[in-house]
């Protein structure tokens, strides 16, 4: 937004006797948003530009380009709606829409949170099961392949692999408990 439009917004607001808070309330935005528009730090979106033009009784061209009131652009402008009759209905409707959207967002957020919690439980159960299977399978597989001397290295590699790929850090550490058990059984034979 350029400074001319920002200055025009300030002029129109003051000419109609609105404070920034009053204007923000009529548009359904924050006072800070109005302030940013008037300092040319941000621009109102299309819906707010249309609402401003209707509120001030001018066309969008008149709002943005500062065309004179008698120009062709001003003649093409829609008639401003009587503020007293439509504002409460529009505000009520906007509040209802906002409340419905907020409720929908809250429900979606709760649903995502519940799904995430349920997935986390299943993932934890599956990782415990994987770890228990590995605790039984690794010693047998290592013995069958004749790799008894490097069992500790194999356990470390499996731990890192499942940790990085499956985030199996918590139950995966239990694989290291099999190392002393494996070697103690190995030397007892």
Domain boundaries, the chain: 3-80, 118-188
Question: In degrees, to the nearest 5, what angle opens at C-alpha 155 toward C-alphas 151 and 159?
Answer: 170
Q: How confident is the model at residue 68 (pLDDT cuts 50, 70, 90)?
A: low
pLDDT of 163 > 70? The answer is: yes
Average pLDDT, the chain: 84
66: left (phi over 0), alpha (psi -120 to 50) or beta: left
pLDDT of 176 > 60? The answer is: yes
Tokens standing for 184?
A: 């103690």
The angle, 0 to 180 degrees and rounded to 10, between the axes of the packed helices 46-56 and 3-15 is 40
Question: What's residue 4's pLDDT?
Answer: 86
Question: What's residue 71's pLDDT?
Answer: 43
For the chain, give the percent of residues with pLDDT over 90. 42
pLDDT of 9 > 60? The answer is: yes
- Each residue's pLDDT tens digit, 141-161: 998 999 988 999 999 999 999
Question: What's residue 66's pLDDT?
Answer: 66
CATH number belonging to the domain at 3-80, selected among 1.10.260.40, 1.10.1040.10, 2.60.40.10, 3.40.50.2300: 1.10.260.40
Average pLDDT over residues 169-183: 91
């Amino acid at each position: 937004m350029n400074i001319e439009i920002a200055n025009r917004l300030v002029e129109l607001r003051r000419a109609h006797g609105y404070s920034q808070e009053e204007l923000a309330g009529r548009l359904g935005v924050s006072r800070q948003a109005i302030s940013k528009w008037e300092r040319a730090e941000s621009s109102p979106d299309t819906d707010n530009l249309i609402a401003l033009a209707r509120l001030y009784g001018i066309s969008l061209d008149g709002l943005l380009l500062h065309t004179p009131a008698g120009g062709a652009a001003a003649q093409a402008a829609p008639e401003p709606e009587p503020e007293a009759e439509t504002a409460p209905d529009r505000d009520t409707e906007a509040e209802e829409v906002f409340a419905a959207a907020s409720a929908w967002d809250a429900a979606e957020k709760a649903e995502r949170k519940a799904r995430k919690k349920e997935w986390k439980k299943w993932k934890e159960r599956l990782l415990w099961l994987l770890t228990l299977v590995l605790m039984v399978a690794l010693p047998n597989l290592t013995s069958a392949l004749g790799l008894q001397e490097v069992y500790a290295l194999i356990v470390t590699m499996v731990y890192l692999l499942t940790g990085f790929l499956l985030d199996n850090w918590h139950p995966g550490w239990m694989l290291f408990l099999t190392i002393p058990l494996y070697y103690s059984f190995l030397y007892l034979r």
